[in-house]
Amino acid sequence: MQLNQYPKAIAAQQTKILNMRRDLRLLEAAQKSLLLAIKGKVANDANLKNDTQRKAREAELIEADTDLELNSRELLELKDDISLEEINLELICNEFSVLKIEARERTASLLAVAA
């Protein structure tokens, strides 16, 4: 990649991460909604007599909810993917910095020879 292409590549990578973070927020909101629905079922269950029974029933419902399990898995995968993309962004930025330093060194060498 040419030195002048790096700013656009950095912006594209930042945009990609931003979009992934938006997706993460949507998944987190969906997970909260699923958990609130379970808590609502437990709260409205008149057969549950005490806090221990309510906690046990909530745990059962969470364990049995395949949508919640899928959502949790997607959340973890997306968080890992975001971390990888952040590493790629850092790599692009570092490569850009190295190329700028090398260009400055070449310019300084040319000026020194010309002087």
pLDDT band at 114 (very low <50, low <70, confident <90, very high): confident
**pLDDT score for 54:** 94
User: CB under 8 Å to 61, separation ≥6 — which residues?
Assistant: 38, 41, 42
Would you tell me how many other CB atoms lie within 10 Å of the CB of residue 34?
19
Instruction: Report whether 45 contacts 57 (CB < 8 A).
Output: yes
Full domain range(s) for residue 93: 3-114
Please write the tens of the pLDDT for every residue from 36-74.
999 999 999 999 999 999 999 999 999 999 999 999 999
pTM: 0.84
Residue spans of beta strands (DSSP E) within the chain: none
Per-chain mean pLDDT for the chain: 95
**pLDDT score for 56:** 94
How many separate domains does the chain show? 1
pLDDT band at 115 (very low <50, low <70, confident <90, very high): confident
